[in-house]
Structure 1
Amino acid sequence: MDKEQILLRCNEICRNTLMETLEIDFIDVGDDFLTARMPVTPRVHQPDGVLHGGASVALAESVGSAASYMFLNTAEFAIRGIEISANHTRSKKDGHVFATARFLHKGRTTQLWEIKITDEQQRLISICKLTTIAIQKES
């Protein structure tokens, strides 16, 4: 698949899911990364009007899991997130955030992803690590 087909597929599989609820949109893909964008609106705010850390974590897990889906053999394996951690470095009230997932480790069974969440000026909002596991599908 070419870049446009990959992005179209990522966005199509998100219909009627949390990703659609959060308005996550996959916008770029390369040989070793996948990037998604999410608007920062009251829908993803915490009560004091800034981006909720849980929304950032949902974005990170969404892009990391989608990247696993794109870069691993999902015909034979189901991909599941098994651990995620996040450090939030800056708050955000409006605009968009961008999450880019890159492999730190690509094992046969487990994969480790680094997901950087930035704002429009490339300032770091959150840094996350996601561990995924590839589970053999039953025949």
Structure 2
Amino acid sequence: MTDASTEQKGELGSFSQWLGVKIVEATGDRVVLAWDVRPELWQPYEIVHGGVHCAVVESAASLAAALWLGDRAKVVGVSNHTDFLRAVRDGRLVATATPIHRGRLQQLWLVDIVDDQGRAVARGQVRLQNLRNEHLAR
């Protein structure tokens, strides 16, 4: 899943940039991301591809988890479960990540995605593993 090395610095990485995702708010307690729907993000039925929602859910959770963990370690995603609740073909979407559990070895984050009318579009949970820096050198 996601290696949060760029997220450690408060960045999202080139894939999220290609999606058009912008950081609205970013702390170790909450991350808010926003992006505009465009045809390049559609699946064949001209609605946002589910993979876009999964990617944004993972990006929001990874950024938040990395900010909370700071220099103590890095985080990598180990599970992403995202439910798609409403089809979207245009407008602005906002994803908000909040912690469910932040432990010594793992973190669990909830991410809600809403449309520009505040309606639920998708909801995801991401479990991340906290890896001390010496584990990454192997």
Question: What's the TM-score once normalised by structure 1's chain length?
Answer: 0.85
- Alignment check: 8 A CA contact 2:12 2:59 kept: no
- What is aligned with 2:5? none
- What is aligned with 2:41? 44
Select 2:111's aligned residue among 104, 110, 115. Answer: 115
- Alignment check: 8 A CA contact 2:27 2:67 kept: no
Select 1:96's aligned residue among 87, 92, 96. Answer: 92
Give runs of aligned pairs for residues 124-139 of structure 1, distance below 5 A.
124-138=120-134
Give runs of aligned pairs for residues 18-33 of structure 1, distance below 5 A.
18-29=15-26, 32-33=29-30
Deviation at 1:29, TM superposition (A): 3.7
1:67 equivalenced with 2:44 (yes/no) = no
Equivalent-residue separation in structure 2 for 1:133 and 1:102 (angstroms): 16
Aligned residues between the structures: 127
- Alignment check: 8 A CA contact 2:102 2:108 kept: yes
- Alignment check: 8 A CA contact 1:38 1:59 kept: no
Counterpart AA for 2:12: C
Aligned-pair RMSD on alpha carbons? 1.5
Which secondary structure does the structure 2 equivalent of 1:32 belong to?
coil
* More divergent stretch after superposition (101-110 vs 31-40): 31-40
Deviation at 1:64, TM superposition (A): 0.5
Counterpart AA for 2:115: D
Deviation at 1:26, TM superposition (A): 0.6
Instruction: State the structure with bigger RCO (CA 8 A, min sep 6), 1 or 2.
Output: 2
Equivalent-residue separation in structure 2 for 1:77 and 1:68 (angstroms): 10
Counterpart AA for 1:33: R
Gaps of 5+ in 2: 1-8
Gaps of 5+ in 1: 1-8
Equivalent-residue separation in structure 2 for 1:29 and 1:58 (angstroms): 17
- Alignment check: 8 A CA contact 2:28 2:65 kept: no
The percentage of aligned residue pairs carrying the same residue is: 26
Which secondary structure does the structure 2 equivalent of 1:70 belong to?
helix
Question: What's the TM-score once normalised by structure 2's chain length?
Answer: 0.86
Per-residue CA deviation, residues 37-71 of structure 1 (Å, 9 max, x unaligned), is 02111111101110111000000000110011111
Deviation at 1:30, TM superposition (A): 5.5
Runs of 4+ in 1 over 4 A off after TM superposition: none
